């Protein structure tokens, strides 16, 4: 059986990839995808902890909830991005600085 | 009906009429005079009933009609006020009621009732062309109040109530002298009269207070009909050396008389009071106000003479009274010689006659003084009303002839006996009574009695002065009659003058009857031929007011011959000098008297003297001292100083505390926040990714802390 740490290392690598995507990409869609990766890294962790017996059934339930939240977040995020695109014909985040002082 | 209750009622109708006229009836002239005359008629009726009861009651002196009520609590006792009818107040009531009634009726005609209001007439000025007076109702309101004051004074049983009536009259005289307030001279006269009498009144009030503090009562009977009290007052030395308490109180009260009865040196207001309408002059000068002064000294005769008996030398108080009276009698008579205004002559004559009465009181001739007071009231009211009738006729003449002349100047008159017969005959009777025409007239009997008393008690100086005054009186009276009524008219106005209406002449006839008949009640019993035909009722009756009945003088021929002599000579000379004065001529006395005439005409320059001594210093005091120095300088200075100091303290607080400390703190907080905000705002870039980096950084730091430091 594959030890737990492998899963955790995998999840950490996946999270870092997602984080890098979220922080470094200029495309808002890519950022959104980075965020999905980070969420899924968390899901991997949750399922792994369930399988290795510390969280009982709650690990799976959390995972499902995260899926639902991720789907909702993606829907809202895409809607926002489309709306911004219609207004400003761009989705490059360094040009979207409306939240400045 | 009990006389006391009737006496209480006597003064009330006029005051009721006053309020009714002032509050409701003042727009209706007919209703106003009906109220006033009706009220006076009621008072007159009550007064006559009370007078009738008084003369028919035996020993009225010992048992007067008296009634009083507790009025004011003074500690444990009450101050009582009430009414008192003793012989003196009974006779005073008689003449006051008659003269007041006559004057009320006369006023209707005098103010042209029944004529149309002239549209040219202005309120506050006399009617120009014989229209009804614009302030008709107001006049009747004022004289009603005046009558109330006088009646209160006469029936009161204590000095305080008397003083109240006295002051009400003072107020009314002020209002009535200035009745035509549109005239400047009337305004000045009213103020002069008020202020001058006030001088006397202040002394009178002092005397009243002194009397109250010494005896604890102001009731006439308790003080003046009480041998013990009088004796104590006469024996106690007063605060001023040389005067007994009685003497000093008497002197202070006498000062009130000097003011009210216009005795020298406070005589100046009375001639100026002629600015009022003529019925007012008659009221003030004959019937009421000036008589009130003499009434007061007669009332306080027992106090004035306390500790003195006939035959003893006069006390300082009595000498003062006698001196002022006699001096005034002569002094005013001389001024009357050179006056041309018909009313002013009468005014000075009044001062002179009042001096007569005061002198009589001063030498202890109580009955004679009271007698002259009453006869004089009748004939002087008659003369004043007669002169009013003359002026009225002359004003009509001035209006009809369209030539303006002074309607009061006797040198514009002449020959009026044919135009105004009723006025002429009554005026003649009054004038003869004033000069003391022998036997027939009332003035003769009363004046003769004063002279006889002065002679019999060896007051020779007073006797000579009074005899001289009597001579001058006869002279100026005849001058007045001759200039006014005899000879030929000296102006167009006099030619067209006409007799006054009946409401004016009827009172003259009534008063003329009294001017003759009032003397018959006091014919001395020792008088040759006539003496004893009629009993000397006046002496018997009024003498009862005093504790000790004054004894009857034995008859002597000298004063009788003197008074007959001076009266006839004076009358004859007056006629002789003035019988043929042509129009526009100066007074025939101007040349023989020379500068003296000018002195007399200017009333010895007393007005100028008082102006210099009192009026101007008073103005200076008010204008320069009080206004400029005290008010503007001192008080305003203090106020401005306080204001300036407050400003200075305020600006210090503002500059030293408010601006730097309080404002500075507030500003520093605000500015600091602002500056901090502008520094820190650069980190808010608006890029979400940078925020995320910061969030990551801090999460990392937090994790590091948890992992490395928190086991």
Distance CA B389, CA A45 (A): 139
Band of residue B698 on the pLDDT scale cut at 50, 70, 90: very high
Pick from A45-49, A52-56, B1-5, B62-66 the range whose average pLDDT is largest: A45-49
More confident residue, B250 or B439: B250
The runs of H, that is alpha helices, within B486-622 are 492-495, 502-517, 537-543, 557-578, 590-593, 595-601, 606-610, 616-620
User: What CA–CA distance (Å, rounded) separates B192 from B271?
Assistant: 11
Closest alpha carbon within chain B to A16: B696
Residue B95 pLDDT > 70 = yes
DSSP string, B405-441: --TTBGGG---HHHH-HHHHHHHHHHHHHHHT-TTTS
Percent of all residues in chain B with a pLDDT value above 90, rounded to a whole number: 22
Q: How confident is the model at residue B641 (pLDDT cuts 50, 70, 90)?
A: very high
Confidence of residue A101 (pLDDT cuts 50, 70, 90): low
Closest chain B C-alpha to A22 CA, distance in angstroms: 7
Residue B201 CA to residue B497 CA, distance in Å, equals: 42
CA closest to B682 among chain A residues: A101
Residue B328 has pLDDT above 80, yes or no: yes
More confident residue, B241 or B173: B173
Could you give the number of structural domains in chain A?
1
A32: nearest CA in chain B? Answer: B689
CB atoms within 10 A of CB B183: 15
% helix, strand, coil for chain B, step of 5: 75, 5, 25
Predicted local distance difference test score (pLDDT) of residue B702: 93
Answer yes or no: is A96 within a domain.
Answer: no
- The more confident residue out of B466 and B113 is B466
Interface of A with B (CB under 8 A): 19, 22-24, 31, 93-94, 97-101
For residues B466 and B311, what is the distance between their CA atoms, to the nearest angstrom?
20
Q: Give the CA distances from residue A38 to residues A41, B497, B688, B692, B704, in Å, rounded to whole numbers and listed in that order.
A: 5, 136, 17, 13, 21
Burial class (CB in 10 A: 0-12, 13-18, 19+), B244: buried
Q: Which two tokens stand for residue A14?
A: 């996946």
Asked if the model's pLDDT at residue B675 lies above 90, the reply is: yes
B222 pLDDT higher than 90: no
Structure tokens at B589: 């006395």
Contacts B695 to A, Cβ<8 Å: none
Please report, for residues A101, B281, B431, B468, B663, the alpha-carbon distance to residue B420 in angstroms, rounded to integers and kept in the order given: 115, 21, 16, 32, 95
Exposure string for B191-229, b = 16+ CB within 10 A, e = fewer: ebbbebbebbbebbbbbbebbbebbebbbbbebbbbeeb
- Kindly state the average pLDDT of the residues A13-25: 91
For residue B151, give the DSSP letter.
H
The H or E element spanning position B70 is strand B65-74
Choice among B9-13, B128-132, B197-201, B591-595 with the minimum mean pLDDT: B128-132
User: Is B685's CB within 8 Å of A100's CB?
Assistant: yes
CB-CB neighbors (< 8 A) of B686 in chain A: 97-101
Nearest chain A CA: its distance from B668 CA (Å): 23
First to last CA, chain B: 127
In this prediction, residue B553 has a pLDDT band, given cuts at 50, 70 and 90, of confident
| In a domain? residue A94 | no
C-alpha–C-alpha distance, residues B575 and B641, integer Å: 74
User: What pLDDT digit, counting tens, does each position of B489-519 carry?
Assistant: 888 888 888 888 888 889 899 989 988 888 8
Secondary structure string (H, E, C) spanning B443-485: HHHHHHHHHHHHHHCCCHHHHHHHHHHHHHHHHHHHHHHHHHH
Closest CA of chain A from B685, distance in Å:
5
pLDDT one-digit tens code per residue, B133-167: 888 888 899 999 999 999 999 999 888 999 999 99
Q: 């002359």: which residue's tokens?
A: B394
Q: Which of A23, A99, A100 sits opposite B692 (nearest CB)?
A: A23
In percent, the amount of chain B with pLDDT more than 70 equals 99
A85 and A91 Cβ atoms separated by less than 8 Å: yes
Cα–Cα dist B7/B54, whole Å: 11
Q: CA–CA distance from B558 to each of B454, B509, B550 (Å)?
A: 11, 34, 21
Residue B711, pLDDT score: 63
Contact B274, B281 (CB under 8 A): yes
Judge whether A35 lies within some domain. yes
> Does the pLDDT of residue B1 top 70, yes or no?
no
Inside any domain, residue A95: no
ipTM higher than 0.90?
no
Q: Which residues of B touch A94 (CB under 8 A)?
A: 687, 689
- Residue A32 falls within a domain, yes or no? yes
Query: pLDDT tens digits, residue range B398-411?
Result: 888 887 888 888 88
pLDDT at position B653: 92
How far is Cα B480 from Cα B490, in angstroms, rounded to an integer? Answer: 14
Provide the 8-state DSSP code for B526. T
Distance between alpha carbon A90 and the CA centroid of its chain, in Å? Answer: 22
Predicted confidence band of residue B16 (pLDDT cuts 50, 70, 90): very high
Structure tokens at B459: 């007051």
Residue A97 lies in a domain: no
pLDDT at B202 over 90: yes
> How close, in Å, is residue B696 to chain A by CA atoms?
9
Judged by CB atoms closer than 8 Å, whether chains meet at B689 and A23 is answered as: yes
- Structural domain for A83, as ranges: 4-88
What CATH code is carried by the domain that includes residue A48? 1.10.287.3510
| pLDDT for residue B130 is more than 70 | yes
B701 confidence band (pLDDT: 50, 70, 90)? very high
Locate the chain A residue with the closest alpha carbon to B681.
A101
Residue of B nearest to A34 (CA): B689
Residue A99 is assigned to a structural domain of this protein:
no
**Is residue A93 situated within a structural domain?**
no
Question: Rounded to a whole number, what is the distance in Å from the CA of A75 to chain B's nearest CA?
Answer: 19
Q: Across the interface, do B693 and A98 touch by the CB < 8 Å criterion?
A: no
Dist. CA B76–CA B212, nearest whole Å: 16
Residue B552, pLDDT > 80, answer no
Q: How confident is the model at residue B239 (pLDDT cuts 50, 70, 90)?
A: confident
Cβ neighbour number for residue B28 with a 10 Å cutoff: 14
> Cβ of A99 and B688 within 8 Å?
yes
Residues of A in contact with B693 (CB under 8 A): 23
CA torsion sign for B453, B456, B461, B463 is: positive
At residue B205 the predicted structure's pLDDT band, cuts being 50, 70 and 90, is very high
CA distance linking residue B237 with residue B45, whole number of Å: 46
pLDDT at A97: 73
Q: Token pair for residue B47?
A: 């007064």
Report the alpha-carbon angle B283-B179-B350, nearest 5.
Answer: 30
pLDDT of residue B287: 65
């Amino acid at each position: 059986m594959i030890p737990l740490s492998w899963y955790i290392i995998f999840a950490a690598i996946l999270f870092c990839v997602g984080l890098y995507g979220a922080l470094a990409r200029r495309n808002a869609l890519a950022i959104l995808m980075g965020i999905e990766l980070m969420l899924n890294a968390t899901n991997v962790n949750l399922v792994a902890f369930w399988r290795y017996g510390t969280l009982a059934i709650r690990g799976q339930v959390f995972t499902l909830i995260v899926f639902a939240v991720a789907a909702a977040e993606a829907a809202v995020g895409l809607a926002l991005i489309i709306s911004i695109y219609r207004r400003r014909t761009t989705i490059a985040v360094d040009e979207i600085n409306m939240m400045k002082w | 009906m009990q006389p006391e209750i009737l006496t209480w009622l006597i003064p009330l109708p006029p005051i009721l009429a006053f309020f009714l006229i002032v509050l409701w009836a003042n727009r209706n002239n007919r209703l106003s005079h009906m109220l006033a005359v009706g009220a006076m008629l009621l008072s007159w009726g009550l007064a006559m009933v009370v007078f009738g009861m008084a003369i028919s009651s035996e020993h009225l002196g010992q048992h007067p009609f008296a009634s009083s009520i507790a009025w004011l609590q003074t500690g444990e006792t009450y101050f009582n006020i009430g009414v008192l009818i003793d012989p003196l107040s009974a006779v005073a009531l008689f003449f006051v009621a008659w003269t007041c009634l006559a004057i009320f009726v006369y006023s209707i005609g005098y103010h042209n009732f029944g004529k149309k209001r002239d549209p040219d007439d202005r309120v506050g000025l006399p009617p120009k062309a014989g229209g009804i007076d614009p302030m008709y109702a107001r006049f009747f309101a004022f004289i009603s109040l005046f009558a109330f004051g006088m009646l209160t004074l006469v029936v009161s049983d204590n000095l305080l109530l008397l003083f109240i009536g006295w002051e009400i009259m003072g107020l009314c005289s002020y209002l009535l002298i200035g009745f035509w307030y549109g005239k400047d001279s009337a305004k000045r006269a009213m103020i002069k009269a008020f202020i001058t009498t006030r001088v006397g009144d202040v002394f009178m009030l002092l005397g009243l207070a002194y009397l109250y503090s010494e005896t604890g009562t102001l009731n006439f009977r308790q003080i003046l009909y009480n041998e013990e009290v009088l004796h104590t007052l006469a024996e106690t030395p007063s605060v001023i050396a040389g005067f007994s308490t009685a003497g000093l109180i008497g002197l202070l009260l006498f000062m009130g008389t000097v003011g009210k009865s216009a005795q020298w040196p406070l005589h100046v207001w009375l001639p100026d009071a002629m600015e009022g309408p003529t019925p007012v002059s008659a009221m003030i000068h004959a019937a009421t106000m000036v008589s009130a002064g003499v009434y007061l000294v007669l009332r306080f005769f027992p106090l004035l003479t306390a500790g003195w008996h006939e035959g003893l030398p006069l006390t300082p108080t009595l000498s003062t009274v006698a001196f002022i009276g006699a001096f005034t009698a002569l002094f005013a008579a001389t001024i009357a010689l050179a006056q041309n205004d018909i009313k002013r002559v009468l005014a000075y004559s009044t001062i002179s006659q009042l001096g007569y009465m005061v002198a009589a009181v001063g030498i202890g001739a109580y009955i004679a003084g009271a007698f002259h007071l009453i006869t004089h009231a009748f004939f002087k009211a008659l003369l004043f009303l007669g002169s009013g009738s003359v002026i009225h006729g002359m004003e009509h003449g001035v209006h009809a002839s369209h030539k303006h002349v002074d309607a009061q100047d006797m040198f514009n008159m002449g020959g009026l006996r044919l135009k105004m017969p009723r006025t002429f005959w009554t005026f003649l009777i009054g004038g003869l009574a004033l000069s003391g025409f022998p036997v027939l007239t009332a003035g003769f009997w009363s004046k003769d009695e004063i002279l006889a008393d002065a002679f019999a008690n060896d007051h020779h100086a007073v006797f000579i002065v009074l005899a001289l005054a009597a001579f001058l009186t006869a002279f100026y009276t005849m001058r007045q009659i001759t200039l006014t009524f005899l000879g030929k008219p000296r102006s167009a106005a006099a030619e067209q003058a006409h007799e006054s209406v009946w409401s004016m002449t009827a009172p003259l006839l009534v008063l003329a009857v009294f001017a003759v008949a009032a003397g018959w009640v006091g014919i001395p019993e020792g008088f040759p031929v006539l003496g004893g035909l009629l009993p000397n009722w006046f002496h018997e009756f009024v003498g009862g007011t005093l504790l000790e009945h004054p004894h009857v003088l034995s008859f002597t021929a000298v004063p009788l011959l003197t008074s007959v002599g001076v009266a006839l000579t004076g009358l004859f000379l007056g006629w002789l000098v003035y019988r043929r004065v042509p129009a526009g001529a100066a007074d025939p006395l101007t040349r023989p008297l020379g500068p003296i005439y000018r002195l007399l005409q200017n009333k010895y320059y007393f007005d100028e003297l008082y102006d210099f001594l009192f009026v101007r210093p008073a103005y200076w005091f008010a204008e320069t001292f009080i206004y400029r120095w005290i008010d503007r300088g001192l008080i305003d200075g203090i106020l401005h100083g306080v204001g300036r100091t407050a400003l200075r303290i305020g600006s210090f607080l503002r500059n030293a505390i408010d601006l730097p400390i309080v404002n500075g703190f507030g500003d520093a907080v605000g500015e600091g926040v602002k500056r901090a905000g502008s520094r820190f705002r650069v980190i808010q870039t608006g890029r979400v990714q940078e925020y995320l980096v910061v969030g990551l950084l801090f999460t990392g730091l937090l994790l590091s802390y948890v992992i490395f430091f928190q086991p």
